[in-house]
Amino acid sequence: AQSVTQLGSHVSVSEGALVLLRCNYSSSVPPYLFWYVQYPNQGLQLLLKYTSAATLVKGINGFEAEFKKSETSFHLTKPSAHMSDAAEYFCAVSRPGTGNQFYFGTGTSLTVIP
Amino acid sequence: KAGVTQTPRYLIKTRGQQVTLSCSPISGHRSVSWYQQTPGQGLQFLFEYFSETQRNKGNFPGRFSGRQFSNSRSEMNVSTLELGDSALYLCASSSYPQGAGSTDTQYFGPGTRLTVL
């Protein structure tokens, strides 16, 4: 079975500081991994995805994530936080070949302090 | 391309009623998935439809059902509403360039906010 754990339901960073949002997964087979962002009263927007190609994945808005199989992690980072990054972030895992049944983490709310 | 659209955006119902939510996927997308989002349970997978067939189903009671039409539009129905069904219901579509059974990026709509009184 697939599952995702996001450590830290709330993360606060200062504007310009490093953003690090943690995601650990559990999967019986090499998974596909995704990061989505959700702004208030909106749906989810894809930030980036890992589908067994390069382990360092670059996404939109300056975000990137690194797939580390040995640590079963897929942490999301951004070198310099911007006020507009304040949102809810979700990590998701799916099992290739089984369709689009995504398992989401519980989310991390990012606050950016001016 | 237009994104995923969901109607209505907001709904208020009372216990015992039924409700139907609609989702129009991105043009050319053949897969539609539905998710329930609540503060307590987070995002939970309801079901996925591909070419009018339900391919995956989450762990929800039979009161939750769905269907997909030949134009890939999908509807979700909840019968005998309970207070706990109050949630944001999200629809997502994907194109499946690698064919049925593959996993592809899902693009989400803005959701339908259902409130059950």
Chain B, nearest residue to A40 by Cα: B110
- Give the whole-angstrom CA distance, residue A93 versus residue A96: 10
* Confidence (pLDDT) at A58: 94
- Give the whole-angstrom CA distance, residue A21 versus residue B81: 36
Q: Give residue B90's identity as a one-letter amino acid code.
A: L
CA atoms within 13 A on the CB side of A27: 24
A to B CB pairs, distance under 8 Å = 70
* Confidence (pLDDT) at B103: 60
Which residues have a Cβ under 8 Å from the Cβ of A49 and sit 6 or more positions away? A32, A33, A34, A35, A57, A59, B105
Judging contacts by C-beta atoms under 8 Å, the chain B residues touching residue A45 are 108
Q: What is the mean pLDDT of residues B40-68?
A: 92
CB contact under 8 A, B48 and A101: yes
pLDDT tens by residue, B67-115: 999 999 999 999 999 999 999 999 999 886 555 445 678 899 999 999 9
CB contact under 8 A, A107 and B111: no
Scanning the structure block, which residue is given the tokens 């995923």? B4
* Confidence (pLDDT) at B91: 96
- Between CA A12 and CA A19, with CA A14 as vertex, the angle to 5 degrees is 65
Q: Is A41 on the interface with B (CB under 8 A)?
A: yes
pLDDT, tens digit only, all 114 positions of chain A: 678 999 999 999 999 999 999 999 987 777 889 999 999 888 899 999 888 778 899 999 999 999 998 999 999 999 999 999 999 999 998 877 677 788 899 999 999 999
Q: Is A45 on the interface with B (CB under 8 A)?
A: yes
Least CB-CB distance to B106: which of A98, A100, A107? A100
Q: Is A71 helix (H, G, I), strand (E, B) or coil?
A: coil
* Confidence (pLDDT) at B96: 67
CB contact under 8 A, A44 and B92: yes
* Confidence (pLDDT) at A42: 84
